[in-house]
Structure 1
């Protein structure tokens, strides 16, 4: 057959779509042959078993059509059972889903790596004139809700050298603003986020940024020292206390980070958690609630699937459930955190970005 020459069905002469059951046939004869053999029907020809089988007349005598299929060399042993076909379709569906989920993970990891500075080297240049922590000339501003922290027992300082309770506040305000900016950049790298109306983008960021900061902070948390190792800076919950945060927030915060770190998540799981928090349809004033809801469900299913495949039993058994519980804890932490930020200082003196996120 010459290249470009139209292929013809060996049974009825219609346009063929390829080799089916060992013979070049059209879709119609392929389906007819499969159904006839699978159902085990015995056709009888009312005439002399020599009816013409053409595109126009192929439906007139099933017995002659089936016989011609066999005469042309179509093979019964190549037909898959309905069950085998179902299994093949299911397998194809699973493979397609696995491909889509892997693409989502790749997008999120790339967004995270392009926007999260794990060495905090950019933060070193973040201060206006590079002064060390706590020496900013502007009025003290409240810390980030993501303000990190550490040893559970605060050391008791000497009576006569009590530290300034707000000495770390300007530094934490800067750190929070830096972290918030990174989260905004992370969100903008995700096509599904960029495609939302701008008002929905703002609502999602306001609702999720502080939570995402905590997830990102957990990647640099050292459970042996109970400290957040941010490049050249190392923060403990003592520093959180020096920024004006109270133990009612700092202790559960530390407990949350210890619990999350214990799960030994992979990078893919951290970024999927961040995306689950970002695409939360529960925030007020969301226009495209259904779109956001569907995307969050896709992220959640991808996370569940990733855990099932990457964490062998028995460790992986309750991992997904534990993560959902920790996300609930995170919501409680955020409420207390926001309450304390507002209590620490008047909103108007915060950095504008932090003020905008808290409002």
Structure 2
């Protein structure tokens, strides 16, 4: 395009010059009344041509202010409206020349209008340690054809036209700029899971499905749990009456007669009726009544034995979950590559967190119960196992928050693995390796969300998951503390495996 414009401009100039010569010649021939000789005729023609050139030059210098369109308009006094616009010669169409050598300039480089060759020369000259010297008294003329002859004069001319030394970037700055450009291009490209990330997800999914029984088919072999269930009349009444989270908790609205919950579906129906009308905002406040002292009809305080009625069953369920989590962890290749001491330290710190993440997959936010196959659990079961409000209230809120995010199975297994490979667990030796593993898992989770999620607020999901994992850290400490307190009161109901997990002393093997 630039070569075409240059050729057009040259043609227009030659055509105008030829037209001027012909016009002056005709004037002299037809108006030659003095019968001039050939030599005198040629002299007069040259003088007239020089005058016209001076006039044209003055017009060109002032045509922007005068608003004149072209030289032809000045000479003829006419403005041809129907003339082709591409045939006009304007300043914008003329190519810009390099201020150093006169070559075609493509833009401003280092604060001066230069060509690409002089731009690269100036950058190399700035980074050069040796001093440039001219052998011809620093008076060399730099042109496109001989610009490589004297580097000293070329560099001096670069500085003379305004090229600035401080605008040349260092190697470090160039590298950082390339990285920024690369990141910007990568942001424009739709994210895709790498083959390594897909392998990580598949390994986690296989291990999770192998070790997590969502139907909880082995629950029937656990020690039974005495529960307070609704009578049919009270179920109908609680369904018709409005729900008050501060007073109508399952413990307070139950019948006073206690009997074994032989039919789990009856308990599920009772829990559903008692909490179906509660909203998510009042779910955590519904725990308040569960921690008040329960009294019988005669006003006598219930003894210690009734507080731990659910403890044997809950401990069996916990032991069952811990065994599955250990099996899940040992099935991971990265976990097996760690030392035995680091494996134990990671499991001791992450077992409770992974257990709650797995329980969250069966949590129903509408009824606030955990639907474990044909058996359902509510927060009252944890109260009657001896756990206190300081743990259960944030735990209840955590399950509501995490479940409302609508996680997919892949996202659940990734946050389980992120919780497992936490480099800040006490007693670790290979912290650097574990930190790298967790970083890869976090990047895989972030890429998965970017690829698979389509909601406009998907960019908020990853930080919300990190916040949930952080919140569980404080609950893990409180859980261990309360289990040790329960063990002091009911030592026979807690299995050795649970004690090894919650104890702070190092254990031999899990």
TM-score, length basis structure 1: 0.65
Alignment partner of 1:100 out of 196, 200, 203: 196
Shift of 1:345: 2.5
Q: 1:323 to 1:124 in 2, by over 3 A?
A: same
Alignment partner of 1:207 out of 336, 344, 349: 349
8 Å CA contact 1:276, 1:300 repeated in 2: yes
Return the alpha-carbon distance in structure 2 between the equivalents of residues 90 and 218 of structure 1: 35
Find out whether 1:285 has 2:427 as its counterpart: yes
Q: Cα deviations across residues 147-206 of structure 1 (Å, max 9, x unaligned)?
A: xx9963446866338481111111111111001011001101111111211111111111
Which residue does the alignment assign to 1:113?
209
Return the alpha-carbon distance in structure 2 between the equivalents of residues 273 and 344 of structure 1: 29
In structure 2, list runs of 5 or more residues that go unmatched. Answer: 1-115, 118-181, 228-270, 276-282, 504-510
In structure 1, list runs of 5 or more residues that go unmatched. Answer: 1-38, 41-85, 136-148
Superposition map of 1:1-359 within 5 A: 98-125=194-221, 127=222, 131-133=223-225, 152-153=286-287, 154=289, 159-160=296-297, 162=302, 164-346=306-488, 349=492, 350-359=494-503
Give SS of 1:228's match. Answer: strand
Q: 1:96 to 1:253 in 2, by over 3 A?
A: closer
Q: Cα deviations across residues 69-106 of structure 1 (Å, max 9, x unaligned)?
A: xxxxxxxxxxxxxxxxx89x979x99996211111001
Return the alpha-carbon distance in structure 2 between the equivalents of residues 111 and 94 of structure 1: 29
- Which fold has the larger relative contact order, with Cα–Cα distance below 8 Å and residues 6 or more apart in sequence? 1
Q: 1:134 to 1:176 in 2, by over 3 A?
A: farther
Give SS of 2:370's match. Answer: strand
Give SS of 1:174's match. Answer: helix
Q: 1:175 to 1:204 in 2, by over 3 A?
A: same
Return the alpha-carbon distance in structure 1 between the equivalents of residues 220 and 477 of structure 2: 30
Give SS of 1:327's match. Answer: helix
TM-score, length basis structure 2: 0.47
Q: 1:325 to 1:95 in 2, by over 3 A?
A: closer
8 Å CA contact 2:310, 2:382 repeated in 1: yes
Q: 1:254 to 1:332 in 2, by over 3 A?
A: same
Return the alpha-carbon distance in structure 1 between the equivalents of residues 193 and 296 of structure 2: 63
Structure with larger Rg: 2
8 Å CA contact 1:348, 1:355 repeated in 2: no
Return the alpha-carbon distance in structure 2 between the equivalents of residues 97 and 214 of structure 1: 28
CA root-mean-square deviation: 3.0
